[in-house]
Amino acid sequence: MTILLAEDDPLTLDALAACIEDEGFHTLSAVDGKQALELWAQHRPQLLCLDIMMPGVDGFEVCRRIRATDPSVPILFLSAKNEEADVVVGLGLGADDFIRKPFTRAEVIARIRAALRRVAPQNGRSFEMRDLNVRPDALVAVRKGKTIELSRREVSMLELLHRHAGKPVSRDAFLDACWGLDYFPDSRTLDQHVLMLRKKIEADPARPEIIETVRGTGYRYKGP
């Protein structure tokens, strides 16, 4: 299992590589975005950890280019930036997670393992949510002939809501099922993913019919 690390601070890069390799992973190290893209093209690693602020090609651009060719490989951002706007931009580009600096070894490993678990093969069965046909095997949803690309996590979120149609799904249930039991949740993480997913799949994101908010609990899909 190979993990690509892109970080322009050599001390952080070396420390990150050491702790990840101690867990049995193989790492590739890039000191900027250009090198990260070159290593990606050569080796096709199973996961990427990208710093946002890198010289030349930044982490956002690396993510954007990779997502243009691979919609499913897990991408985690490493960042000292805590602004909500940066998180929203990253999620919009298809990132799976944000790891804020400074971080602990345990947190990094837990988030990596959770991200890798999420790329396990889907069961392949399509299902309907109102006028939306979700196709997990293809990581897409289709409405009136229009194809909507989804990430694996987004598919997992829709599967969870569909399985519990008519019942509220708690925030903890979402985090456990779609992020992993050992995930270190940020209180805004789920809400931001729901916001981005609504923009993709709702006919009117301001009046959602597929992902409804249940105040004080979580979210619900009412069903057909």
Give me the CATH number covering residue 100. 3.40.50.2300
Please report which helix (H) or strand (E) contains residue 201, including its range. helix 189-201
Q: Are residues 21 and 97 in the same domain?
A: yes
User: Measuring CA to CA, which residue among 37, 34, 28, 32 is closest to residue 5?
Assistant: 28
214 inside domain:
yes
Q: Are residues 94 and 143 in the same domain?
A: no
Say how far apart CA 135 and CA 43 lie, in whole Å. Answer: 29
Which residue, of 94, 117, 140, is where some domain finishes?
A: 117
91 inside domain:
yes
Cα-flanking dihedrals φ and ψ of residue 74, to 5°? Answer: -65, 135
How many structural domains compose the chain? 2
Q: Are residues 137 and 111 in the same domain?
A: no
Which residue, of 76, 93, 117, is where some domain finishes?
A: 117
Which residue, of 117, 139, 165, is where some domain finishes?
A: 117
Structural domain containing residue 177: 127-220
Instruction: Please give the pLDDT value at position 204.
Output: 94
* pLDDT of residue 81 exceeding 70: no
Partners of 141 in the β-ladder: 134, 148
Q: Are residues 12 and 113 in the same domain?
A: yes
168 inside domain:
yes
Question: Do 154 and 161 touch, CB atoms closer than 8 A?
Answer: no
Cα-flanking dihedrals φ and ψ of residue 129, to 5°? Answer: -135, 95
Beta pairing class for 47-51 and 75-79: parallel
Q: Are residues 7 and 100 in the same domain?
A: yes
* pLDDT of residue 131 exceeding 90: yes
Instruction: Please give the pLDDT value at position 123.
Output: 57
Q: How many residues does the chain have?
A: 224
Sign of the alpha-carbon torsion through 83, 84, 86, 87 = positive
Question: Do 31 and 51 touch, CB atoms closer than 8 A?
Answer: no
Partners of 47 in the β-ladder: 3
122 inside domain:
no
The DSSP 8-state label assigned to residue 15 in this structure reads H
Q: Are residues 111 and 132 in the same domain?
A: no
Q: Are residues 82 and 108 in the same domain?
A: yes
* pLDDT of residue 127 exceeding 90: yes
Instruction: Please give the pLDDT value at position 169.
Output: 95
What is the pLDDT averaged over residues 173-184?
Answer: 72
Residue type, 187: S
pLDDT band at 111 (very low <50, low <70, confident <90, very high): confident
* pLDDT of residue 25 exceeding 90: no
Q: Where are the alpha helices (DSSP H) in 22-119?
A: 33-43, 59-67, 84-92, 105-117
Instruction: Please give the pLDDT value at position 40.
Output: 96
Q: Are residues 16 and 53 in the same domain?
A: yes
Q: Are residues 149 and 76 in the same domain?
A: no
Sign of the alpha-carbon torsion through 166, 193, 197, 110 = negative
Residue 43 or residue 119, greater confidence = 43
pLDDT band at 161 (very low <50, low <70, confident <90, very high): very high
Q: Are residues 202 and 102 in the same domain?
A: no
Q: Are residues 11 and 59 in the same domain?
A: yes
